[in-house]
């Protein structure tokens, strides 16, 4: 496929999704096609790791639900702090949430609840086993989120049990004018309040670019990412005995093409672009290097719990993925920033080898 031989700087020009265009340019600028899977156990470690490894990566992958002490405060919490580090070092945040449910539920899980993922994660992912309509549901949630940005939002909040007449389902209520609803329940409105909220996302380009000491808070050389949210479809997994079939993977490809303005690409084990104008981005976990000095043959021993590993060279040069996702290979090294640089160099070399 043509995208296998195109430099990321070229693909930046033709990708449909604004965040993909940004990400391809960022990759070119930082000479990095590395994503760190920041699977540490505490929020403190997560933030420290993101700050130290930030210069080597273009994407930071999180699992907010395995972090203890995650602070949910929408103004000062862990998501907001991560967003600040992403601005400072120039990387995108990818919450590996693997959404899978009916569309309505997924919309609520994505935008509300405890973690309010949409507020701080540029990218998230979904398993489409439940049917591809949930992709449309998530796209709709993201579009609504974007439409709210920079606007004063008026919200009407009613608390209490609805009374007759509050139900406007278009049907004549045959309750004879009593204060009962159509199901015969009695109820009363406790209060109705109008709240005005000002809404500024955690990674908004309208936020200050320097702090009170004059320190730069924004990564130089490229403008800040667009205020868009993107989805990766979980098309293939790295684990042994994975049950995702070829038909499932193909359904992901079709769903991606149907929602180009929201789907950036895939989490997959190989390149899936096949139609002439496909330009989706591929991110691949299950990546590890043999220890420094040891010879590479493409494969590295798994973790004994089903995880299987390939080297950056095999995944990028041979299988055509774009970004390798590395967790324990970097996190468990004696010095994670040094090891992250080793992975960045190897993965970038593998990309250059693919081009030539």
Q: Which residue, 95 or 119, is less far from ligand 5IU as judged by CB?
A: 95
Binding site for ligand 5IU (CB under 6 A): 37, 39, 63, 96, 234, 237-239, 267, 285-286, 307, 325-329
Using the Cα atoms of residue 202, residue 204, residue 207 and residue 210 in order, give the sign of their dihedral.
positive
Question: Among 146, 176, 148, which Cα is nearest to 164's?
Answer: 176
Cβ 286 vs Cβ 310: under 8 Å: yes
Q: Give me the least distance between CB of 99 and ligand 5IU, in Å please.
A: 12
Q: Which residue, 91 or 145, is less far from ligand 5IU as judged by CB?
A: 91
Q: Give me the least distance between CB of 308 and ligand 5IU, in Å please.
A: 9
CA distance 179 to 250: 55
Q: What are phi and psi of 81, to 5 degrees?
A: -65, -40
Helix/strand/coil for 81: helix
Q: Which residue, 57 or 164, is less far from ligand 5IU as judged by CB?
A: 57
- Active-site positions read 98
Percent helix, strand, coil in the chain, to 5, is 35, 20, 45
- Ranked by CB distance to ligand 5IU, the top (closest) residue is 327
Q: Which residue, 39 or 45, is less far from ligand 5IU as judged by CB?
A: 39
Quote the crossing angle between the two packed helices 43-53 and 336-355, to the nearest 10°: 50
């Amino acid at each position: 496929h043509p995208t296998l031989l195109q430099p990321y700087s070229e693909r930046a020009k033709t990708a449909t999704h604004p965040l993909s265009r940004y990400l391809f340019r960022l990759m070119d600028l930082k000479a990095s096609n590395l994503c760190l899977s920041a699977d540490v156990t505490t929020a403190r470690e997560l933030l420290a790791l993101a700050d130290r490894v930030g210069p080597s990566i273009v994407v930071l992958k999180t699992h907010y639900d395995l972090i203890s002490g995650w602070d949910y405060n929408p103004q000062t919490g862990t998501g907001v702090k991560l967003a600040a580090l992403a601005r400072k070092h120039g990387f995108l945040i990818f919450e590996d949430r693997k959404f899978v449910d009916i569309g309505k539920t997924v919309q609520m899980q994505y935008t509300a609840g405890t973690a309010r993922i949409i507020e701080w994660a540029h990218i998230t992912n979904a398993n489409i086993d439940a049917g591809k309509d949930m992709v449309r549901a998530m796209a709709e949630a993201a579009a609504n989120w974007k439409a709210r940005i920079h606007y004063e939002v008026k919200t009407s909040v009613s608390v209490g049990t609805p009374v007759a007449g509050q139900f406007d389902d278009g049907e004549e209520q045959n309750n004879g004018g009593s204060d009962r609803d159509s199901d015969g329940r009695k109820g009363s409105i406790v209060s109705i309040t109008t709240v005005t909220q000002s809404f500024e996302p955690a990674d908004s380009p309208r936020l200050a670019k320097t702090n009170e000491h004059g320190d730069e808070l924004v990564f130089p050389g490229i403008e800040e990412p667009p205020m868009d949210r993107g989805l990766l479809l979980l098309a293939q997994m790295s684990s042994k005995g994975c049950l995702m079939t070829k038909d499932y993977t193909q359904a992901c490809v079709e769903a991606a093409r149907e929602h180009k303005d929201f789907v950036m690409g895939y989490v997959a084990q190989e390149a899936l672009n096949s139609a002439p104008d496909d330009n989706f981005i591929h991110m691949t976990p299950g990546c590890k290097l043999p220890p420094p000095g040891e010879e590479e043959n493409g494969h590295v021993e798994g973790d004994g719990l089903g995880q299987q590993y390939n080297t950056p060279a095999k995944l990028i040069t041979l299988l055509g993925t774009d970004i390798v996702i590395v967790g324990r290979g970097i996190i468990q090294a004696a010095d994670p920033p040094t090891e992250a640089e080793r992975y960045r160099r190897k993965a970038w070399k593998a990309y250059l080898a693919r081009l030539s």
